[in-house]
Amino acid sequence: MTTPPPTADDLQALAEAVNLAEIEALGRARLDRNALEYYASGANDGHTLRANREDLATLRLRPRMLVDVSHIDTSAEVLGLPLDFPVGIAPSAFHGLAHADAERATARAAAAAGSVMTLSTFSNTPIEEVGQAAAGRLWFQLYLLRDRELSRAVIARAEASGARALVFTVDAPYLGRREANERHHFALPPHLSAPHVVSRAELAQVETDTGSQLTHYFQNLVDKAFTWNDLGWLRAQTRLPIVLKGILTAEDAELAVQHGCHVWVSNHGGRQLDTAVSAVAALPEVADAVAGRAEVYLDGGVTRGTDVLKAVALGARAVFLGRAALWGLAAGGEAGVRQTLELLRAEVRLALALSGKQNLRQVGRDLLMR
C-alpha cells in the first residue's frame, strides 16, 4: 500500500505541532500497519527501545544563572561540515513507505535546515538522486555485503554522488528479531525496491509467506565473517572518513580509533540485541575511551532539545534522528522533516539559554548531575 499524499488538513495539523511527540502522532496516523510496524518495532520485548528514551529522561541538568544569554550560538561541525545545530538524520531504510518523495524529501529538508542526512544502503531512492537533493550535506551508510564487488561499486557511487563520509554499520551481521514484522510478514509494496542492492524483480522472488521479507533477504546479503582485521580492505576502497556505527563499549571504541575510524554510539534504535545498554548510557565510557582522538556521535531516543544537550555534555559531537525524521516524513513529506528539525533546533537554543550556556563549546559534564 502507498501512503497517500498529505491533505491540506494534514499539513495544517503539522504546522500547529509544537513538539516531536505531536509530529510522531500525526505520522503514525498516516501509515498502514506494514509501514508503521516496520518503523516502530524494536527487538523482542523492546527493553532497549524504551531504555533509549527513558535513560535520556532520567539524566538531570545543573543550570547556571546570571549568565549573559542574549546571544546563543547553536552551531556545530561534523568532519569539517558546519551544521546549524548538532543534529543530523540517521540512516533508516525505506523512506518510500512514508512518502512518495522518499529519501529525496528527507535530504532536501536536512539541507534546508543546515543539517546532514545519512542515506541507508536500503534506500528506496538511488544515491545519485539523493546526492542532488542533499546539496553537499550527505553521508552514506554501508552494510558490508558478501559480494565485495557490489560493495565496492556502491561505495564508488556514494563518493561520486557527493557523500562526505562512509558510515559502516557494525551491529547487524544478522537482523534482530522484530516480532511484529515476523508475525505480519513485513514486505515492501510492489512499487518499491532497494536499488543499491536488489531490483524489484529480485525482491519479488524473496519469500513472504513466512516471517519478514527483509529478514529472509538480509540473511544471505551481509558478510557475517567481517572483523576488525578486514577494515583495511574497507579503507582501501575509499578516500572518505569512515564512521563505525553501532559501538557500545570502551573496548570497541578503542579499536575503532586504532583503525582510524570515528565512532557512532548506537544500538540500532533498539532493533538488534534486546536488553543491550542504551545509547546514552554507553556514551560516557565510549567518549572517555576515544579521548578526543576521533569524533563521537549518538543516535537513539532523542526527541527533545535537552536530549541533545545531554548527549553533547557526555561527549557526542552531534546526535542523529532515526524514527523522529520518519514520523515527520510521514506527517508531511519534506515539510514534516523540516518542521521536526526546526522544532528541535529551537529547543536546543532554549535549553542552552536556560542552562546558562552561550554555545555548545561551553557544554560539558558539569551540566549534568553526578
In angstroms and rounded to an integer, the radius of gyration of the C-alpha atoms of the chain is: 19
Q: Name the residue among 162, 170, 290 with its Cα closest to residue 222.
A: 170
Q: Which helix (H) or strand (E) holds 299?
A: strand 296-299
Q: Name the residue among 283, 227, 217 with its Cα closest to residue 250.
A: 283
Q: How far apart are CA 367 and CA 163, in angstroms?
A: 34
Helices 250-258 + 279-290 axis angle, to 10: 40
Which residues share a beta bridge with 115? none
Return the active site residues.
Answer: 268
- Burial profile 202-240: b = 16 or more Cβ within 10 angstroms, e = fewer: ebeebeeeebbbbbbbbeebbeeebeeeebeebeebbeb
- What are the DSSP calls for 240-279, one per residue? S-EEEEEE-SHHHHHHHHHTT-EEEE--GGGTSSTTPPPH
What is the bridge-based pairing of β-strands 76-78 and 81-83? antiparallel
Q: How far apart are CA 245 and CA 219, in angstroms?
A: 19
